[in-house]
Each structure stands twice: as C-alpha cells, then as structure tokens.
Chain A
Amino acid sequence: MTPILAFDMGLALLVLGVAAWTIAARGTFAAVVGFVAYGLLLALVWARLAAFDIALTEAAIGSGVTGVLLLRAAKLLPYSAAESARSGAPLRIAAGLLCAVVTLGLAAVVLSLPEPAPTLAPQAEASLPATGLGNPVTAVLLAYRAIDTFLEKVVVLLALVGVWSLAADRDWGDAPVLWRTRDHDGALILLAQVLPPVGVVVAIYILWTGADHPGGAFQASAILAAMWMLTMIAGLSRAPRTSAPGLRLTLVAGAAVFLVVGLAGSLVADAFLAYPPGYAKALIIAIEVVMTLSVAVTLALLVAGPPERGGEP
C-alpha cells in the first residue's frame, strides 16, 4: 500500500466516523457541529479527487452556510424535544438492514463502473479557447451548460419566495431576524469588524481567479454571504426589510442579467444563451459579478428565514 492510499483510507474512515457520530449523537447541537466537521472533511476528499472547485463550494456552502442555517434552527428549537423522539428497536433494525442493502448495491455499482470511463473532458477542452476561460468547470457552468446555472438561480430564488411565504400575514414585508442576541460579545464584534474587509477581498479574488483557476461565482458569493451574516450575528447590521425595492432588485438581478444576455444571444449569436464570438469572456465575467452579489444576498436571506416582527429597530 502506498502512503497516499494509506492517507486516503484514513481520510475515508475519518469521514465515515464523523458521519456515523453525526447520526448517532444525542443532542441536535452536537449533531450539527458534527455535520460541519463532516463537510470540511468532505472538502478534503474533494481536493484528493482533484475537484478543487467542488472542495471550495463544499467548504463554503455545504459545510459553512448550511452549518449556520442548521445551528440557527437548533438554537430556535427546544432542546428537550431532541431527547424524546427516538424510534423503536424493530424499526431501527429494519432500517439498518435496508441501508446495508442500499450501500452494498451502490458499492457493487462503484466497483463495476465501465472501463475506460466515459468522459466529456475532450469536448470541454476542445471548446475552451472559444470561451476565453482557463477553468473548464467555470466554462461548463457559464457557457456549455449555462441553462443549468440559469435555472439554478431561479430555483434558489423560488426557495427564498417559499421561505418568505411562511411569514405570518401581519409580518409580511418586515425584516427577517438572523440571530437574536441580547448581550453582544466584545470578541465577536471585533471579529465582525476585522474579518469582513479581508473576506470581501478574498471573495473578489476567488470570483476573478475563477475564470482560469479553481474558484468562481458560487464560492465567492458564499464568502460574501458569510461576511454579511457575521456582521448581523454580531449585531453590527440588520437584515433589510423584505419589501424594500432595492433588495428585491438585487435578488432578481442575477437571473435577470442571465436572461437578458441569453435572449440577446438568440438575436446576436445563433442560440439562447450563446455568446457572440470574441465577447464570451467579457459577458461571462459580467454575468458572474452580478450573479455573485445576487446569490450572496439570497444565501444570507435563506438562512435568515421569513420576515418577523421585531426585525426593525
């Protein structure tokens, strides 16, 4: 066994161990902390699979932003209920057997994947010069399969509409409350003052470098969202009123720019979401910049939940 394979085996065992602990933990809070650790370990696995774009996304969104969302829920829900709800032994045994069968089935599939593996990498590589990009993943996201990314923008927006629609009638249009704290911790406030300028610079770098190296719009927007949420948790800023026209404009801007460029593509170039030759990179960067802002605000507001009374000062 090579040292690299030994390392990978240790990493896989660690991921499985943390995952099992996350499922078995008694308290919800402990389970959420386990889940955040699981996400970060998974990011390491992605790095080992040479998928650095996914590693960044997993760490930022899968572990980070989802972690904040779940921690907030664990904090708002009563702890006592966490202990009472456990299912009986027969159900657990039946579920365990079912899951073992599913795992064995999937393992058999993994072991019998076709050889040589089917791949679209040569096609992606062949068209890369036309986009002016160096990172094939960004090219797939914003050129070859731009329709997926556009629809994803719409899905995220629809999820936010769904979350907002859970507001009580009288709270409609008010501001959501990300985090309620009475006494503000000095260290947290200092962190929320020192970190965001650094975070914003890192986010801009990740966005810009995403054209040619690992990085891109989603990773950058997750970092921006994290910085904004940090200032909200420290009490330095508040979520805006959900009825504010500026906010709503920001939210739809990402999908709207995509749609406008896409429709222009069907006139100027020859298909919906096609870029005219020579302008591809400029248009892609333009879409990415607007999309980053738009997705950052959407992610933070998805965590903040529906508008509530008491959100306004």
Chain B
Amino acid sequence: MSSATLFGLCGAALVGLGLFGLIAHAEPLRKILAFNLLGGGVFLIFGVVARRGAAAGFLGDPVPQAMVITGLVVAFAATALAVALLLRLYRISGETTLPAGPSTKSHADGATS
C-alpha cells in the first residue's frame, strides 16, 4: 500500500467520524466543528487524487490542489456565517440548541441584545 492510499483511507475514516459528530451532537457549535472535520476528510481524499496524478515533473496534479485551496477558504467563510447565525440565535433566544419540535416561543428582534 502506498502512502497516498493510506491517507485516502484516513480521509474516508475522517468523513465517517465527522458525519457521526454532525448527527450525534445536538449542539450547533459541535455540529459546525464536526462538519469542518468532515470537510477535512473530503479535501484529503481529493488531495490523494491530486497526488496520484503526479506527472510532468510535478509531485501532484496542480488543478485539484488549487481547488482544495479555494475550498478551504470557502469552507471558512461558510463556517463564519454559521457561527454568526448561532451567536445571533443565542443573543435573541438565550438558547444554544435548536428546539426539537416547532418553536412555541416568539422572539422579538434585538430585544435582549
């Protein structure tokens, strides 16, 4: 087994771990964290594809590598938006988890901030 395959399997396991955290944790912040962990696994598998595409004197295919860099920045932007939504939820409602059923409370915008 080559190192690339090994890290590919590692990426597959990371996706599974992240997905588990995403489902099993009820807290949104932990879900966001788990989702980022999952993303790391996806990028890693893509990186393995890039490494296997080594040719023309390069140690990896630069196209997927560049796409992973773009993906990392976009993943950060999405995480920042998710965290901002969560902090806003806490500020307005005083809760850090989403209610399981339909919400019966009505929240006034900015009333408690």
**Bound Cα distance A122, B58 (Å):** 9
Interface size on B, residues (CB 8 A): 82
Contact B113 A124 (CB under 8 A): no
The closest CB in chain A to the CB of B85 belongs to A166
Residues of B within 8 A of A124 (CB): 56, 58, 61-63
| In the complex, chain B residues whose CB is within 8 Å of the CB of A218 | 69, 72-73
A58, chain B: closest CB distance, angstroms: 6
Cross-chain contact of A15 among B14, B34, B59, B88 (Cβ < 8 A): B14
| Residues of chain A contacted by B11 (CB below 8 angstroms) | 106, 110
Min CB distance, B106 to chain A, in Å? 17
**Interface residues in A145-186 (C-beta closer than 8 Å to B):** 145, 148-149, 152, 155-156, 159-160, 162-163, 166, 168-171
Asked if residues B14 and A19 are in contact (CB atoms below 8 Å), the reply is yes
Q: Once bound together, how far apart are the Cα atoms of A200 and B72, in whole Å?
A: 22
How many residue-residue contacts, CB under 8 A, span A and B?
293
CB-based contact B66/A121 at 8 Å = no
B15 and A69 contact, CB distance less than 8 A: no
Residue with the highest number of chain B CB atoms closer than 10 Å, among A48, A65, A73, A218? A73
Residue in B9, B33, B73 whose CB lies within 8 Å of A61:
B73
Q: Is the interface of B mostly helix, strand, loop or mixed?
A: helix
Q: Is the CB of B97 within 8 A of A85?
A: yes
B77 to chain A, nearest CB (A): 4
- Give the complex CA separation of A168 and B97 in angstroms: 21
Q: Mark B41-76, 1 if CB is under 8 A from A, else 0.
A: 001110111111111111111110111111011111
- B61 and A120 within 8 A (CB): yes
Once the chains bind, are A53 and B69 in contact (CB under 8 Å)? yes
CA distance A208 to B62 in the complex (A): 19
| Residues in B lying within 8 Å of A, measured CB to CB | 1, 3-21, 23-27, 29-30, 32-34, 36-37, 40, 43-45, 47-63, 65-70, 72-81, 83-88, 90, 95-97, 109-110, 113
Other than the given A72-B83, A302-B76, 17 more pairs (CB < 8 A) read A15-B14, A23-B21, A23-B25, A38-B40, A48-B7, A49-B60, A51-B65, A54-B69, A62-B40, A86-B25, A103-B13, A106-B12, A119-B55, A119-B61, A159-B78, A163-B80, A170-B110
